Structure 1
């Protein structure tokens, strides 16, 4: 009869040891996931790759082909494979969008890549806002992948499930989820060649004649001092990142960016331009949501790949600095 208490004590000791080790194990897994996300951001910029992927959004599925040449000068070209032919070419921060009729718009972008649904994980994530962990393994486009879950802790941000190639950490698949963890949009590579640089032909427009217009904010400058506007209160985890304003124009016009380290929100403040009563408006398409309101002589527009609650809270909290 003495054997049973001894077995019970041994089982209890093992259980207590496992419970004591679980926080350390969870912390190690979180660190591994954060390192993987940092590697993803670097791989998407640095590596040469080309392939085709599907993009499910707004009730439709598009198929696109990407050609990407990595550092030192990052260049890429994105081509639609279904529907009206269009393509986007990026060289550094210069972007050219070409439509099916041959019209082209040139503008200065943020320097982010052309593959959609890639979270901006270049800055450290705030553990207070997201739970980050490795949740399993899978296979995508012929490559072994680690699956990373980025789960928001509140209703102010979306979540991600990311499939990262095991060796290079290149993103193979991305699913964006709402605060209830329901899928909203996703991309998935169906063919991919990692490490092969695209040719020069693959990185330039295929049309010989283009009707080009410029949308580049050549007259804008980065605000080094105090912005005209600020958000107070700010949704939890979000903080001011940057501000831009015209070199010449009415005092008060400004473009602000707030971020939580993963999701970014843009705020545009422009002259109202009419005397009609202003109304608050909310609109969304896929994961992009927009809030607009009128404040005295100003029209305020907030947009970002965040839930409606976030753009509304930021828009309502904007005030003169």
Structure 2
């Protein structure tokens, strides 16, 4: 069993569906409301647990009404919640309005902004025993840096999912075993033009890159020229959470080697878009293997 540590965000997504977006100052009657658990960290932890990994989450929740449900939701998926800290104030939230297939989103980091290097340091023992650490950038940058340095000191590989992207020092990127951006995110990380050929950007990166390309699959480079893994042919219902599923699967299957991990990550991400919701389509191992058997790509 792969043992993973996920350091990242947990949000309560508050989703309103309406026929259109309200004009400034307008009160509009919506069609439907639903609250769902989200955040890149929480999503990736759940996806990895469903794929059979032992997952430990390092995160923060608030002392509001959302805190306990967010924590308990992770526990119900088999994620260890021992290192989820409770802090004063609100939990992370995302207020989402959906109309005509488009969305408007306001994210309030809340407790996610209070996840500190000290929280990561307290979990050094569980990091030291992990096969890999998965971290994103919906938490303070100093906590991302601390995660990279603590894991590096323990000789544990870190997969950095640089989303939402912003420029990072090359020194930090060199501490990552892999980074998993899309083209825009990679350009932002490197301070480059997003219109530059993605293969050129991959060659310029100071660490190995696994570049996601949506339905086209992924490209990966450890050394030498970038290699391509094609996507899988599925009926797309909802693409929310596909990137989180990809990252989780990549971490879970990395022990099988880079090309296999990328292939299985593409398969898992493809399955995730066939059902509604960020977590609704996250697959189990048997589903991944069945898709791989059906489609040889």
TM-score by length of 1: 0.27
Bigger fraction of residues in helix: 2
Bigger fraction of residues in strand: 1
Structure possessing the higher radius of gyration over alpha carbons: 1
TM-score by length of 2: 0.29
